[in-house]
């Protein structure tokens, strides 16, 4: 007699940990009167997402950037970056997590004017703990990725605005961050160069990078795959 076949129940599969998770986050600034820059924000950004956060001046975009970038803390609520509850960390631990997990691109390029393009791209890897032997090869790879291999030895002052922003993008991705935070990255660029930078972001996203783009420009925001609108500190997906 053949023994009955036993079918085991499938094991529970844990849900992947989001890159970014905000739960009931409020950020208040004392007055009088007290100002709530963010009000009960809930946001989940899975790995590989491409999200834009849009809103007018005073909507809470800068506060959101500071919180996501671990430059500020929520007054109320929880922020987890890569599953790590950031409110329990010391300032040194937050700085280390920021260096490992986040890359930043700003409206102003923040390049060192007296250092070469290659040196500018290598610098963040020092703070991220990248082994010395890996820094230059990674920087060269990042510059090749943004189409600036031929500008490695130049000083930033010899570059166009679009080229300088490409250097800033290369600097941000050279540390191989989990998330790229871009704050008004096209604000100083003309329409043609804006299109080139947005195409570069699309390429980076296609390669698996998680992007969060903060902007007031509706056309730029629509290039992302998801959009969050901030209005008076409240977030709504649109």
**DSSP bridge pairs for 81:** 20, 84
Task: Give the pLDDT confidence score for residue 228 in this predicted structure.
Answer: 97
Q: Beta strands of the chain (E only): which ranges?
A: 20-29, 35-45, 50-54, 76-81, 84-85, 102-105, 179-183, 210-215, 226-231, 234-237
Distance CA 165, CA 170 (A): 9
Task: Give the pLDDT confidence score for residue 224 in this predicted structure.
Answer: 96
CA 164 distance to own-chain centroid:
18
> What is the pLDDT averaged over residues 190-215?
95
Between strands 102-105 and 226-231, the pairing is unpaired
Task: Report residue 32 as tokens.
Answer: 């009088």
Radius of gyration of the chain (CA): 20
Domains annotated on the chain, with CATH? 20-237 (3.40.50.300)
User: Are 171 and 179 a contacting pair, CB within 8 Å?
Assistant: no
Task: Report residue 87 as tokens.
Answer: 């409110």
Q: Which tens digits make up the pLDDT trace of 84-119?
A: 999 999 999 999 999 999 999 998 899 999 999 999
What mean pLDDT is reported for the chain? Answer: 93
Confidence check: pLDDT of 26 > 60: yes
Task: Give the pLDDT confidence score for residue 12 in this predicted structure.
Answer: 62
Task: Give the pLDDT confidence score for residue 7 in this predicted structure.
Answer: 53
> What is the pLDDT averaged over residues 157-166?
95
Phi and psi at residue 95, in whole multiples of 5°? Answer: -65, -40
Phi and psi at residue 64, in whole multiples of 5°? Answer: -60, -45
Phi and psi at residue 137, in whole multiples of 5°? Answer: -60, -40
Which residues fall within 8 angstroms of residue 157, CB to CB, at 6 or more apart? 113
């Amino acid at each position: 007699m053949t023994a009955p076949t036993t079918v085991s129940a499938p094991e529970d599969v844990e849900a992947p940990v989001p890159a970014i998770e905000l739960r009931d986050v409020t950020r208040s600034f004392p007055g009088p009167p007290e100002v709530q820059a963010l009000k009960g924000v809930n946001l989940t950004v899975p790995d590989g997402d491409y999200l834009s956060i849009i809103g007018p001046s005073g909507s809470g975009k800068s506060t959101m950037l500071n919180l996501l970038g671990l430059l500020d803390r929520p007054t109320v609520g929880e922020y987890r970056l890569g599953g790590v509850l950031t409110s329990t960390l010391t300032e040194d631990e937050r700085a280390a997590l920021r260096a490992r997990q986040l890359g930043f691109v700003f409206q102003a390029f923040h390049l060192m004017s007296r250092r070469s393009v290659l040196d500018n791209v290598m610098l963040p890897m020092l703070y991220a703990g990248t082994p010395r032997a890996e820094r230059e090869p990674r920087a060269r790879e990042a510059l090749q990725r943004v189409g600036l291999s031929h500008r490695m030895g130049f000083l930033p002052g010899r570059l166009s605005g679009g080229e300088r922003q490409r250097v800033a993008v290369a600097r941000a991705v050279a540390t191989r961050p989990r998330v790229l935070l871009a704050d008004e990255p096209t604000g100083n660029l003309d329409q043609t160069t804006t299109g080139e930078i947005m195409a570069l972001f699309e390429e980076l996203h296609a390669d698996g990078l998680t992007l969060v783009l903060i902007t007031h420009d509706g056309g730029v925001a629509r290039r992302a795959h998801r959009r969050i609108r901030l209005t008076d500190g409240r977030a709504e997906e649109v």
